């Protein structure tokens, strides 16, 4: 058990809809990372937050947004969903801000767009 909790585990919705994925980091971790994993693209970094502030951005679409709250949990919002957004979405957390520190992954949210 990594200590990172993601909810929900599965989400099925339709094109054009909006969903929110939630992540609770390990106790004591201040950084949260979001990743998207698909069969053809592998694990792609989306965005990092550290102690409530955005720290790094990867291949995140404008339709996607994230935030980290004062209690350090984070939410990833996906809007105007398209079929291609179907994927596994992982959250990871680490103690500090720098990417050289080990990241601990949750078990992901499987998003299916019908």
List contacts with another protein (CB under 8 A).
2, 4, 40-45, 48, 56, 58, 90, 92, 98-100, 102-108
Q: How far is the CB of 79 from another protein (least distance, A)?
A: 23
The CB-of-15 to another protein minimum distance in angstroms stands at 25
Comparing CB distances to another protein, the nearer of 60 and 79 is 60
| Closest by Cα among 76, 83, 94 to 32 | 94
What tokens appear for 60 in the block? 């995140």
Burial 13-50 (b: 16+ CB within 10 A, else e): beeeeebebebbbbeebbbbbbbbeeeeeeeebbbbbb
Which is closer to another protein, CB of 8 or CB of 16? Answer: 8
Q: Which is nearer to another protein, 15 or 41 (CB)?
A: 41
- In angstroms, give the least distance from the CB of 84 to another protein: 17
């Amino acid at each position: 058990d990594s200590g990172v909790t993601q909810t929900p585990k599965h989400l099925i919705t339709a094109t054009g809809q909006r969903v929110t994925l939630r992540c609770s980091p390990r106790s004591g971790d201040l950084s949260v990372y979001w990743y998207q994993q698909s069969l053809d693209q592998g694990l792609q970094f989306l965005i990092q937050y550290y102690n409530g502030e955005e720290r790094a951005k990867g291949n995140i679409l404008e339709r996607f947004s994230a935030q980290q709250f004062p209690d350090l949990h984070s939410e990833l919002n996906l809007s105007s969903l398209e079929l291609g957004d179907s994927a596994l979405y992982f959250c990871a957390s680490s103690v500090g801000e720098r990417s050289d520190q080990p990241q601990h992954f949750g078990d992901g949210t499987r998003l299916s767009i019908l």
